[in-house]
Amino acid sequence: MTFSGKIKQEISNLELSKLEYISELSGIFRTSADIKLYCIRIQTENINVANRIFKIVKNIYGVTSNITIKKNYNFKKNELYIIEIKRDVPAIIKDLGLLNEHGFELLKVPNEFIVSDDELKKAFIRGCFLISGSVNDPKTSRYHLEFLIDDVEFADFLCSLLNEYNLNSKVHRRKKGYMVYIKESEKISALLTMMKAYDGVLYYENIRTYREKINMSNRINNCEQANIEKSMRSALKQIEDINYLKEIDAYDLLDEKVKEVAEYRVKYPESSLIELSEIISLETNSKVTKSCINHRLRKIKELADKAKNK
């Protein structure tokens, strides 16, 4: 089972209040149902979602839905569950806040009472995710959660609803419909928590923490490698300047302390300035700091540059 499937399975087992069930069902129907005066038809590849829709409609409205199972002949080869509700359709749609009171006209966004408080908003979002949402497994190379929405007005509504919780969601136009998506790992984790997918959150956070530790370790290693390579390039340039001064008989223009550093630089080409200061201090029994070594190497560079310019 995919990570999205596990999240939907966990959500499908939640016990909610009657009002939360209504808001969740409203999100499910508004997102994906084909609604006619005589029938509500909705399809899903997830058996847990199909069973949840069946149970909510049965428990809240006393209506038994018809469920048909068909073979889905796309590349996934999953079974397709088709739920049909053929009784009390206008009353159900009106109760779900999706029907215009002046006639059988479906609303682009649900009535305000469906999302009138914090828990109802979360329930509505949960319903939208159950039927149209997906989230990448955190083991993959990128973090991504999305809802596939049919029209721009509802996509903007859902995006605004998500952003009431600072989830930084955005809307993207696709060939068919719109995608409301979240890219940031912390925001995705926050949404999973809001939807009460707590097992999914624990898995997600464990993988995310592990990946971040690996990434941090890689960044540290990269920085260390970059510093080593930078130090090596500087050391080779310093040795090149020292050898150049010797070739043109200008080396003796350096004072004794600078020559001392030059000799140690040639002797220990792979050492950093800090390591070089420790070696010189130990072998000469005289304290020489990194700053002092850097200053003397700069003297060598200045003399070499001056000689090259002449």
* CA 133, chain centre distance (Å): 15
Same structural domain for residues 10 and 114?
A: yes
Same structural domain for residues 192 and 239?
A: no
Same structural domain for residues 172 and 262?
A: no
* CATH code of the domain covering residue 31: 3.10.28.10
Same structural domain for residues 75 and 180?
A: yes
Same structural domain for residues 301 and 161?
A: no
Q: What is the DSSP string of 239-307?
A: HHHHHHHHHTT-GGGS-HHHHHHHHHHHH-TT--HHHHHHHHHHHHTS---HHHHHHHHHHHHHHHHHH
pLDDT value at position 263?
87
Cα distances (Å, whole numbers) of residue 94 to 35, 66, 111, 118, 131:
12, 21, 9, 21, 20
Mean pLDDT, the chain, integer: 87
Whether residue 203 is contained in a domain is answered as no
Q: What is the pTM of this model?
A: 0.71
Measured CA to CA, the distance from residue 124 to residue 128 in angstroms comes to: 6
Question: What are 199-230's pLDDT values in tens digits?
Answer: 999 998 888 888 777 777 777 777 777 777 77
Question: What are 117-150's pLDDT values in tens digits?
Answer: 999 999 999 999 999 999 998 887 688 999 999 8
pLDDT value at position 73?
62
Question: What are 145-189's pLDDT values in tens digits?
Answer: 999 998 899 999 999 999 999 999 999 998 888 999 999 989 999
